[in-house]
Structure 1
C-alpha cells in the first residue's frame, strides 16, 4: 500500500474506521487486527469502487462488512474451541480502551445485533437516515424507528436492566 493512497484514501476516514472496529472488538489486539484488515481490504478493493456513491459511503460499507465477517469468524472459532474444552461459567470482558465511559458504551453497543451496531454507529456519526439506509442497504423510512428502538435497548443495557 502506497503512502499516498493511505494518506488520501484512508486517513481522512480513520475516525469512522476506528469507531466501527471498536464496536466489533473486545480487546486492543482484536481492534488492531480489524483496523489493519479494513485498511488492507480498502486497498485491495480500491479498483472495484465504481463511483456510484461517495468514497466515504463505500469506506463505511466496506468497514462494516469486514468487521461483520471477522466477528462471525471469531464467533465460529470460539464455538469450535469451546466444543473442544469446557468453558468457564464466568466470563469477564476485558477493558479494551482507556476511557471507562466510552468503553462501557462500546460494550453495550457490542451487545446489539450486527446491523443495529452499524445503524447506531452511523447515527452517532450524524449521518442522515438516507445515508444510513444507503450504507446498510435498507429503506430510509425504517431507520428512524430502528434508531429509537436501539436507543431504548442501549439505555436498558447501560442501566443494567439487560445483560
Structure 2
C-alpha cells in the first residue's frame, strides 16, 4: 500500500468513524486532557493498522477493535501513573463538546459506563452501537452465551441505578 493510499484510507475512516472514536475515548478517559491523550493513541494505532487491513471484517469492526484494545491498554498504563497525573483543565481539549448544555442523562450514562471494568465498558459501547452478539463476541474474544449473561447483568445494574437517580428514560 502506498503512503498516498494509506493517507486516503486513514482520512476516510477518521471522518466516517469520528463519533465512534469519541464514544470509546469518552468511556475510557474522563478528563479532557486524558481524552486528548487517548484519542491521539487511538489515532496513531489506526494509522499504523491501515496497511494491515485485509477486509476480513468491516472497517467499523476493525476500527472498533483497535480503539477498544488501545483504550484498555491505555487505562492499564495510566493506572500505574495515577499519582503523578494532575489534570490541566485550562488546556484546550481536542475533543471539545459543543457549547450546548449537555444532556444530564447522557453524562450520567457515560459516568456509569466509565465505572465498569474494561471488558464491560467495551461491551456497553458495542451494544449501544448495534453490533450483533456474534460480532461483539468476536471483537471481545468471549462466547456469545457469556456475552448474553454479561449484557443482562449490566442492563440490570444500569436500570437499578437509573431508578435511584430518577433517570427512567435511560
TM-score tier by shorter-chain length is 0.7 to 0.9
State the alpha-carbon separation in 2 of the partners of residues 158 and 33 from structure 1.
Answer: 30
Equivalent residues of 2:134, 2:144 under 8 A apart: yes
Deviations 1:76-103 (A, max 9, x none): 101x549xxxxxxxxxxxxx96332211
Correspondent of 2:49 among 35, 45, 52: 45
Equivalent residues of 1:108, 1:158 under 8 A apart: no
> Which residue matches 1:64?
68
State the alpha-carbon separation in 1 of the partners of residues 161 and 141 from structure 2.
Answer: 27
Equivalent residues of 2:25, 2:35 under 8 A apart: yes
Structure 1, gaps ≥5 residues long: 83-95
1:160 Cα offset (Å): 5.0
1:5 Cα offset (Å): 3.2
State the alpha-carbon separation in 2 of the partners of residues 53 and 141 from structure 1.
Answer: 22
> Which residue matches 1:93?
none
Give the TM-score normalised by the residue count of structure 2. Answer: 0.76
Correspondent of 2:157 among 146, 153, 157: 153
1:152 Cα offset (Å): 1.3
> Which residue matches 2:91?
none
State the alpha-carbon separation in 2 of the partners of residues 49 and 4 from structure 1.
Answer: 13
Matched position secondary structure for 2:124 = helix
1:26 aligns with 2:36: no
Structure 2, gaps ≥5 residues long: 86-95, 166-170
> Which residue matches 1:118?
122
> Which residue matches 1:85?
none
> After TM superposition, what 4+ stretches of structure 1 lie above 6 angstroms from structure 2?
none
Correspondent of 2:110 among 97, 106, 112: 106
Give the TM-score normalised by the residue count of structure 1. Answer: 0.79
Equivalent residues of 1:22, 1:31 under 8 A apart: yes
State the alpha-carbon separation in 2 of the partners of residues 151 and 5 from structure 1.
Answer: 36
Corresponding residue pairs, total: 147
Matched position secondary structure for 1:41 = helix
